[in-house]
Amino acid sequence: MATIFIADYDFGDVEIEREIIERAGFTLSAAQCKSEDEVIALGRDADGVLTQYARIGAKAIDAFTRCRVIARYGTGVDIVDVDAATRRGIQVTNAPNDWCSDEVADHAITLWLAAARKICAYDRATRLGEWHWKTGQPIWRLRGRVLGILSFGAIARGIAERARPFGVEVWAHDPFVDELEMRQCGVRPVSFDELVAGSDYLIIQAPLTSQTHHLFNRATLRRMKPTAILINTARGPLVEDAALSEALAEGWIAGAALDDLEEEPAKQRDWRPNNPLLQLPNVIVTPHAAYYSEESIGLVRRIAAEEAVRVLSGRAPHSPVNEVARATVSSPTAPAVEHASIPDIALPASRIGLGTWAMGGMQWGGTDDDVSVRTIHAALDQGVSLIDTAFAYGFGHSEEVIGRALAEHGGRDRVIVATKGGLERIGDGLFRNSSRGQMFSEVEQSLRRLRTDYIDLYQVHWPDYAIPYEETAQALADLQQAGKIRAIGVSNYSIEAMERFRRIAPLASAQPPLNLFEQQALQDVIPWCRANEVATLTYGALCRGLLTGLIDENTRFEGDDLRKTDPKFLAPRFAQYIAAVRRLAEFARERYGKSVLALAVRWVLDQPGVSVALWGARNPGELTPLNEVMGWHLDQKALIEIDDILRETVHDPVGPEFMAPPERLHA
């Protein structure tokens, strides 16, 4: 029987939910998870998950074994990684915002009036025996002042409507709402700067997004009027609390009223009131209670439970947050994975090969080995029969992870393991070296790390201009003779280099970069391979994530992520590539009902001469669209339209040359 798991709740009991869930024939389990690990430990095998504050991030989503729906108690879904859920075909639902919009608007007005009229200060003082109007001095008349609202969504409109009778002039800033619409509501549309500098009372009611996180920092607070009062009835992290404490203590602004703190206490198990804001007299704080009334809380509980039941019963939810392409979820009816052949390898290669660069744990912001192993298993279980790695991916770490995954999974003889060598580690750097001695020693080490006694395809990673190609080719021919490697390939080689190489050793494959944004190989390497019966394994089908459709202007790359220096991800080109992805996504959806990711991979597979497209995935969910890529083709007209889109959007193209490792240093 399907189980619905309540990850956390603060209602005292779950009887409302139980009634709905058990009546529908499902079982209920409930917990008080305060971390994603607790969600994983207790909810991994649930069919549906309800959450109030517990974070359901990509880690939990990837760990779920059968989850089909995540229902949020409330409207905001900032605690759920919706993209990760979509990739795994999990429906996310919320409550339409009118479940509590009256309550929040009432609360915002209450906080505003309480702060402006110094209600809490008067109350505290009178209880201590101070009976004087001066306690609250100065208090300014509301009439004629400016009340600014950040956002003009449902709640903000309710606030505007309630505020007007007090005689204030209402301003709002919302980049996504038509100015005319605001004017029709008697509200003046203003820029963010005008809002900040001109408001006497500023109510924050925008959702928490990467754009609004810490929007109220020192720089913003310094631009406000010294008499201004800031009210936050949205989410705590829109305000940088340390900056606000400073602003209030030093008089940059006069007061604040907050329904949440930056640390979001409701999401913590052992919260203590250590936030310095709680020591200041000119701050009012309520415990994220704006949404609460007896009516609203009952309603949101019913909505969440009913949405989960609806999805698990095969019905459409009333309030979906994401679009789940159910057809893309693995199913017995999904089209079979296509295959290609590689010379000297008996096993047919799936035309999608698993790329494992990120599994090396370096250059892509870090990875978790257990997740990598599960990703490899998921790929194999979905029919991927080729895994591509290299010593360079984490100085052998990626190979070790593959070795472990294959040992745990079994079926080594049904997998084509392709790895690469010819790059030598010196300190923390990699330098080209494909001398005979280097190739021999690297093959031995790769065999050990991969826990195997043969490598299906061994490739020279980059041409080494200091060593004759013939020397490298002879070394690999000898290793092939010895049975250590079955087929020989090269990567990033020119035609001239391949011509020389294959006079000495049989060349089974070449590995050039190829994707919608990096098409050079179609002019040289790929046609040559086609004419000479050399298989191609192309890399970078998703152009380092750009073509997933999940990267936009706000995406930030952390740590040693190589995209921090990739010219495609830097101004001025980044905006052009993002614009191209948007247009391509629109085209894919309208023309084929597909995602941009599926279009991008299909485009690579449909190029004559491409045998296998490598797809770099770091968690099982990222492979969900695999079936969406199989079993269809782009027609000639579509290929032309795609070229037009690229020409119109990318004016200043750049290739992947920045990735090339240096040659060896010579004294």
Ligand X SMILES: NC(=O)c1ccc[n+]([C@@H]2O[C@H](COP(=O)([O-])OP(=O)(O)OC[C@H]3O[C@@H](n4cnc5c(N)ncnc54)[C@H](O)[C@@H]3O)[C@@H](O)[C@H]2O)c1
| Positions in the binding site for ligand X (CB under 6 A) | 75-76, 97, 100-101, 104, 150-156, 173-177, 205-209, 211-212, 233-235, 259, 288, 290-291
Minimal distance, residue 165 CB to ligand X, in Å: 20
Q: How far apart are the first and last CA of the chain?
A: 71
Residue number, 95 or 253, with CB nearest to ligand X: 95
- Least Cβ distance, residue 163 to ligand X (angstroms): 15
Q: Hey, what amino acid is at 514?
A: L
Q: What are the tokens at 202?
A: 């500023």
Minimum CB–partner distance for residue 151 and ligand X (Å): 3
Q: Cα separation of 379 and 624, whole Å?
A: 9
Instruction: Choose the catalytic residue: 53, 73, 122, 393.
Output: 393
463 contacts 451 by C-beta, under 8 angstroms: no
* Residue 281, preceding peptide bond in cis (omega within 30° of 0): no
Q: Report which of 281, 265, 262 is spatially closest to residue 273, judged by C-alpha positions.
A: 265
Name the one residue in this structure whose structure tokens are 């202007």: 553
Please identify, using beta-carbon distances, which residue of 285 and 430 lies nearer to ligand X. 285
Distance of alpha carbon 336 from alpha carbon 182, whole angstroms: 53
CA distance 187 to 107: 20
| Other C-beta atoms lying within 10 Å of the C-beta of residue 185 | 16
In the complex with ligand X, the residue whose CB is nearer, 101 or 627, is 101
Cβ 392 to ligand X shortest distance, Å:
41
Strand partners, 202: 148, 230
Shortest spacing between CB 14 and ligand X, in angstroms: 21
How far apart (Å, rounded) are the C-alpha atoms in residues 526 and 461? 17
Active site residue 393: yes
Residue with tokens 């492979």: 623
Residues whose CB is less than 8 angstroms from the CB of residue 102 and which lie 6 or more positions away in sequence, other chains included = 158
* Residue with Cβ nearer ligand X (103 or 442): 103
Handedness of CA 21, 22, 27, 33 (dihedral sign): positive
In the chain, the amino acid numbered 265 is P
Which CB, 174 or 561, lies closer to ligand X? 174
* Residue 194 DSSP symbol: H
394 Rama sector, left if φ>0, alpha if ψ -120 to 50, beta otherwise: left
Q: How far is the CB of 108 from ligand X (least distance, A)?
A: 8
- Yes or no: say if 309 and 281 are a contact pair by the CB < 8 Å rule: no
- 104 or 626, CB closer to ligand X? 104
Nearer to ligand X, 210 or 445 (CB): 210
Tell me how far, at minimum, the Cβ of 322 lies from ligand X, in Å.
Answer: 15
My answer on whether omega of the bond before 138 falls inside 30° of 0, hence cis, is: yes
> Annotated catalytic sites, by residue?
393
